[in-house]
Amino acid sequence: MHGKLSDDPLEPGDVLHLELVPKVSGYCARLMRPAVMDEPSAKLFDAATALIEVQDRQIAAMVPGAVASEVDAIMRQGALDAGLRQTYVNNTGYTLGYYFEQAPRTSDFTRLFTPEADWQLEKGMAFHMYTSADAGIAFSETVLVGEEGPERLTTTTRKLFQCGEGA
């Protein structure tokens, strides 16, 4: 998913992942969207639609008091059940917070969404929630746990983009 340097030009059907990591006053928000060169295949389109649907269910469960492993299971098991992945070994989200200007990284793994995560979500926590499919696409969001429930802080349209299309 993460870029590798290459002299090979992008070809029709290749997927480009746009991952934005904006920082404002030391606080970070992240988001990733896939963009396909030329027309997307039905397999890619269907995988994107299914990933978004499962991740939307996961995000909806991010309420104060929710157990992280249960929130994780929605995405993890949902992706496996939908046939989007053969295995799901990585986490489905992690903590976001303050990063001083010279921070060596932009990820904070203080809290991870994994099957073993027994901690509870609290109002005011912010997370980078991400997922991917074996078809070669990924989506991510920055989510705030609000008093009334989750708030997606990254509001870019959630879809498989096609390079060259109008926004």
d(CA 158, CA 32): 9
Q: Is residue 140 part of a domain?
A: yes
Provide the terminal-to-terminal Cα distance of the chain, rounded to the nearest Å.
23
| Whole-prediction pTM | 0.89
CATH of the domain at 51: 3.90.230.10
Supply the pLDDT for residue 105: 56
Which residue range forms the structural domain that includes residue 128?
17-162
Strand 137-146 with 126-133, pairing: antiparallel
Predicted pLDDT of residue 110: 79
Question: Do β-strands 31-36 and 15-20 pair in parallel, antiparallel, or remain unpaired?
Answer: antiparallel
| Three-state SS at 82 | coil
What was the pLDDT predicted at 11? 87
Number of domains in the chain: 1
What sign does the dihedral 151-156-161-167 (CA atoms) show? Answer: positive
Domain contains 2: no
Q: What is the pLDDT of residues 35-62, one digit of tens each?
A: 999 889 999 999 999 999 999 999 999 9
Task: Determine, yes or no, domain membership for 33.
Answer: yes
All residue ranges of the chain with pLDDT < 50 are 167
**The pLDDT value given to residue 165:** 65
Residue 134 contacts residue 141 (beta carbons within 8 Å): no
Domain assignment present for 148 = yes
What pLDDT does 46 receive? 95
